[in-house]
Every structure is written in C-alpha cells, then in structure tokens.
A and B are shown apart, each in its own frame.
Chain A
Amino acid sequence: MIIRILVLLATLVVLLTACSSPEDTMDPAVELAARPTSEQMLTRYEQMYRDIQDRLDTEIGPFEWYQTREGGQAGCGTAFPAELGGRTVALPSWGFNGNIVDQDWARARDIITAVTVEYGFASGGVQIDEPGRHTLNAFDTTLGAYFTFGTDINTSMQTTTGCHLPAAVSSST
C-alpha cells in the first residue's frame, strides 16, 4: 500500500509537470489571425475532394459519389483559447456505395496520398490494410487538419480543418 501511495504521489508530480504549459513561442491570437480563414480552408479542401474524386474516377472508377454525412463544427480543443473565436470545421463526408477492391487499393492509396500531399497533408495515424478493409489517415501538422479515407463495405472520406477564425471574426482582428 505504501508503494502505491508513493507511486500515486509521484504520478501527481508527473501530472503537475505535464499539465504546466510550456512557454509559448508565439502569441496564439497572432498565430490564429495569421492563418487563412475557415472559409478559405473549406474552399481549399473542397477542391481537394474534387481532385481526389476526379483522379479515382479516371484511374480506377468511375464511382457514384454522394454526400454520406453532413458536416459540422467544433471548437479548437486545447490548441487555442476558446475566447479567440477559432473553429474547427468538419466538411461533409463524401463517398460511394461499395468498395475499392483489394487489387486497386495500392493505386488508390498512392493517388489519395499524392493529392493530399499537395494540400499539406502527410500520412499518419491509424492505417488499416486488410483484405476488404482499408483506411488511410493523413494530417496537416502545421494547421492541425485531419483527413481520413476508408473503403470497406462502403467508401467514404472526411476532412476536419485545423483551427481557423471565421471570416467575420478574422476581419475584425
């Protein structure tokens, strides 16, 4: 029991250290204001969707794309103080019924990776590559954006922006 209590106390110290914020190198308000607006990022990522769809249709498909889920928005978590008014925006998901067959996945993955790299993403996170089930995740670690593409029984891709100011807020800062 004594060992447990000692470990618990040590844990508290670790947590205290871990929870202490490191010295910021840049004013969050300045950093956020310097970023493109939410609307600009949505326009950019919508174009990324179109590029992915066009290339997959041309080189593997065509596929009957439709919006599989609505989008939404959230705050910026711990990335920026909430009072700055930043938002992360989930774009609507797009996909199609059915899957990309296993023998086409490597080609599809290369296409998706090539396109997303052009938009600042790098592959990372959970990557599932099993017969009949494939998932690719990618991140823009600079802006905090997240992209995921999966094909299983159905196929769907989804993008969440990093933290950006809405244009109305950005213009006033």
Chain B
Amino acid sequence: MVSLADVRRWDPAGVEAAFTGLGVARDRLLGVDDELRTAAPPPDWSGTASDAARAEHDRVAERLRRVTAGIAALRPSLAAAADAVVALSRDLDQADHLAAAHGFPIGPAGIVTDVRQTVLPVDQIDAYNQQRGVEQAEVLTLLGGVLRRATDIDTDLADLLARAVDEQIDDGGGISLLGAATTGLGSAVLALPAPPTGTPAQNNAWWDGLTPGDQERVISAHPEWVANRDGIPAAARDEANRARLLIETARLDRELADTTSRWHTALDEPLPAGMEGQGETAGQLQLRQDIERLQARRDVLGAVATTVNTGPDRHLLLLDVSGHDQPRAAIAVGDVDTADHVAVFTPGFTTTVAGSLGSYTDDLSGVQRTSEQQLTLAGRGGETVAGVAWLGYDAPQWSTTLDPDDSVASSAPAQDGGRQLAGFLDGVGAARDDDPHLTALGHSYGSTTTGYALQHTAVDDAVLFGSPGAGTDDITDLHVPDGHTAVLEARHDPVADVAHFGGDPNQLDGVANLSSREETGPDGRPLRESVGHSDYLAPGTTSQHNIAATVAGLPERRISGDNSGIGDWIW
C-alpha cells in the first residue's frame, strides 16, 4: 500500500530519466534488427553444427524480441507515470492548502486532525460540528483520490516491470524486432489514449473502448478529458466535474488568499506626491480588481457546489468557469444515464450560473416530480424522469445589451449556444445503449437557443415557452416529429409576442399550442394561471402541468389553449 509519505518522495525526474534510457536501448535494439536477420544460418547449411547454430540464433533472437517488447511496453508507461506523478504532486499540494485553510493538518501517515479550537454557545455546537465534518470530508476526498491513483499507478507499473524483467511481455511471435516492439506497445499500462476531437458518438466510442480500470484512471488523472465532453456517461462526467470543483475551489481559495495578502502589503505603498489620502496606486488597483475577479469565480463555484449538493440525485454535467465570457454549468436532477424520459432545459436572458442556475434546477426538480406523478397515474409507475438545467452558452446579459454581437436583440449568442446545446442533446443519447424519450425545453431567449439547436439535432419533443422566436419561421427546420413542437405563451408575457427571431412560434404550422391560462374547474373554482414571463414552471400551474406531461411522453394529458396575444395582431 502506498502512503502519502511515499507519494511526497516520488520524483518524476527519475522516471523521466528511465524513459530516456529505455529510448536509447530501444533504438539500439531496433538498429540490430537487420543484423540479426542476416546472422541467421543460411538455409542451405545443414548438419549438426548448423542445427546448433540455428537453435542458438533462435534463442538469441527470441530473447531480443522479448526484451524489445518489454522496453516497448515500459517506455510509454513510464512517460505516463511521470505525468501522473506530476499531477499527483499538484493535487497533493492542493489538498495540503485546503487542509491548512480549514485547520486540518495532514500528518505524515495521512491522518487528518482537527486542531481548530473554537468556543461556541451550546446551541451552535451541532451546526459547527456538521460544518467541520463537511470540511474534513473535502480534505479526505482529495487525499483519498491521490492515494487511490498513486496505488493504481504503483501496482500497474510494478506488475509491468516484473513481467518485463521475466521477459513475459508478448512479442507477437514474429521474427523481427520491429514487430516485437509494435506488439509490445499493446501491453503498455497507464498510457491512456487521449480522447479524439470528435462527435458525441465518437467520444462515446473512445470511452467504451477503455477498460473499466482505464475509465477510472481517466477520471482521476485527466478529469478535464471527460468532464464536459458530450457523449460521455453522466455518471463519469459528474465524478470528473466534482473532482474538478474541489480542486478548482482549493486553487482559487489559495490564489485569493495570496492576492489578498499582496493587496494588504501594497496598501502600505505611498501614493504619488499630491495624492496623499485619495485614490490608489496602479498596483493597488490591479490587485483589487484581481481579487474581485477571483471572488466572482469563487462565488460561481460556491453556487454550483450548493446547488449540486442540495439533493443526492443531482449531477454536475458541465463546469467551465474561466473558458468563456460567462461561466457555464449544467446540473441534472435524476439519472440521465438510465431515465426513461430526459428533459434538457435552456434558460435565457440574464441567466447566470451564480445567480439563477440553482433556482432553475429547483424548478426542474418540480417538473421531474410532476412528470413522475403523471406517469404513476397513467399506470406507468416504473418509468423514471431526469431533467438537466443547462447553461452551456453565454446567455445575453444586461451588460451586453448594447453590444451588437452579444445583445439579447442579436441571434448570435443563440446560434452559438444552439450548436453547443445540440452537442449536449446528442451526447445524452450517444452515452446510452438505449434511446430515451428526449425533450428540449427552452424559455425566453433560451427557447431561441433551443430552436437553433433543433436545426442541428433531433429530439422527440420540444416545448418553447415565453419565446421570442425559434430562429426560424418554418417548423420543418426543427428536427422534431410532426405535432411534437409545443408552445406556451402566458398572459402579460411581452417577450412571447416579440416574434423577433423567426416570427411568433405559436403561429408555426403544426405547432401544438398549450394553455398557460386560468381555467375554471367543473365546480367553478378558479385554477392557477401562469402570468407574465417567469412563472411557467411554478408547481400546480397549467403551464407546468403541460410541460411535465410533455416530458413524461403523455401528450394526451396536456391542456390545449389559444396562445394568441397582442403581438399576434401586430405582425
């Protein structure tokens, strides 16, 4: 069993030196390939001496092939091990800093001790202990990951070395050393094949081609390979993204603490003559802005962690806080890998990961429950539903309103987002062996993004609500079966009548217009209506009922309605 002390002693430079040495040995061996072949006894030489010479040549050749195969297997394995040791060292460093920040020093034997002394009122002790437990668990999770990966690397490499020393690496049974080297490569361990830059189906084929052990190693050593890659199963994406969330949080905490410390030091710098007591130096300003930028990213990670840890059935399928104008994330409710019905919801204008993805995920929890309730009532209680709140694009913000390329009045963000969303939708199916009932839900500008996505990929059902347009005025542009594109338009929702992106969706030929309105029950009681732009997913409303019925694949249970509004008479 590898210990933390072992890992701290591991030196990638030593592994890299062995890699280089094996390269020299491999080249020398391959250099004698022709010589070995020409040294074979000539076929027309016969007799006792020739038999002995041939046997000895065969013995030497076989040995050289075995050694060559062993070196061929070891060399890439050592290269991968060197990379893995660097990654382990980095992650152990992050764990050390997180532990120090939380007041849990890590002992040489890997024992994490709580050294924080705190005096609290009695009624706060339980909550304090609970919080300390969470923090300790974060540290232990990171350490556990490091030890698990270290043990895997050590075990695999030791096994391969033993087989190479015993000349047990398969050489393919050929006659050339080059052939032995090629065959030997197949026995390499740790050398994980990087994923292709391909379609979700190609990504999934790469994933399926890995052994379960390699899949686990990819998640541990290269979570960035799979975390946001469409076509990878949701469970793997969730595991990889949770690991990245922890590591990135620890890294940001460290960077924030460091930058804040430097800012405090910089505050001692004197201001230029004549500016004493007012303003700040360029250095102070830069550091303060850096702190604000880092804190904003930290807030995003905090919001993601809060949302994804709210319930045990939540999964983090996308996390990217620094690669785009806006942070991106997607959180699933339910099991996307196995659910019979999967809904992917795209929100719109002003949506941010930190500000609103959490509440939209809560809304999807409500849709999931309503859909499953409807399935139970329909006698299909065994069927399950999962929903994804997807914010994988730069949704327009107030701050971009005057930017012609990124404004809510521009279709560019929706078109770009549509391509991203199409990949995600494709990936849901590509990651599974079966074909779930897939529904795309789009609200507001997110419905326009959804409309563009559906011009690239197919779903079983689509619901556009509060939509300023689907990006087309021809429903056949949307890859949705006839009669399976539905529209909801609440009263007093001006956005739903803007018709800015391809006309008002409620007027598309063949669209299913569903009710959001107040209905009167048979006993005369008023029913709940969705009013305005932001109430479509509220539990118990006609609109949420209709959305849930669509997601559940129960179109006969939907309530139709007239979605004509004032805008329908203007255009």
Contacts and interface: CB of A to CB of B under 8 A. Distances in A.
Interface string A142-173: 00001010111111101010000000110110
A12 B408 contact: yes
A168 B541 contact: no
A151 to B, nearest CB: 7
B529 to A, nearest CB: 9
A126 B542 contact: yes
Interface residues of A, number: 54
A5 B409 contact: yes
B310 A73 contact: yes
Contact of A90 (B369, B500, B522): B369
B362 A76 contact: yes
A2 interface: no
B495 A15 contact: yes
Contacts of A135: 377
A83 B527 CA distance: 33
Interface in A71-96: 72-78, 82-83, 87-88, 90, 93, 95
B124 interface: yes
A146 B363 CA distance: 13
Contact of B494 (A4, A10, A93, A146): A10
Contacts of A95: 376
Given A126-B527, A156-B373, A16 B398 contact: yes
A150 B376 CA distance: 9
Interface stretch (B267-275, B422-430, B531-539): B531-539
Contacts of A153: 377-379
B363 A7 contact: no
A16 B399 CA distance: 12
Contact of B381 (A16, A18, A68): A68
Contact of A172 (B127, B373, B533, B559): B127
B401 A139 contact: no
B94 interface: no
Contacts of A169: 127
B369 to A, nearest CB: 6
Given A83-B306, A125-B528, A152 B377 contact: yes
Given A15-B495, A77-B363, A127-B527, 12 more contacts: A4-B500, A8-B468, A11-B494, A68-B381, A74-B310, A82-B306, A124-B540, A125-B539, A126-B559, A127-B523, A152-B377, A156-B373
25 contacts: A3-B570, A7-B498, A8-B409, A8-B498, A14-B494, A15-B350, A18-B532, A68-B381, A69-B381, A72-B365, A73-B310, A75-B306, A75-B310, A82-B303, A83-B306, A90-B369, A124-B526, A125-B540, A126-B527, A126-B528, A126-B545, A127-B521, A146-B539, A154-B378, A172-B124
Interface of B: 123-124, 126-128, 130, 303, 306-307, 310-313, 333, 349-350, 358-359, 361-363, 365-366, 369-370, 372-374, 376-379, 381, 398, 401, 408-409, 468, 494-495, 497-500, 519, 521-523, 525-528, 532-534, 539-542, 545, 557, 559, 567, 570-571
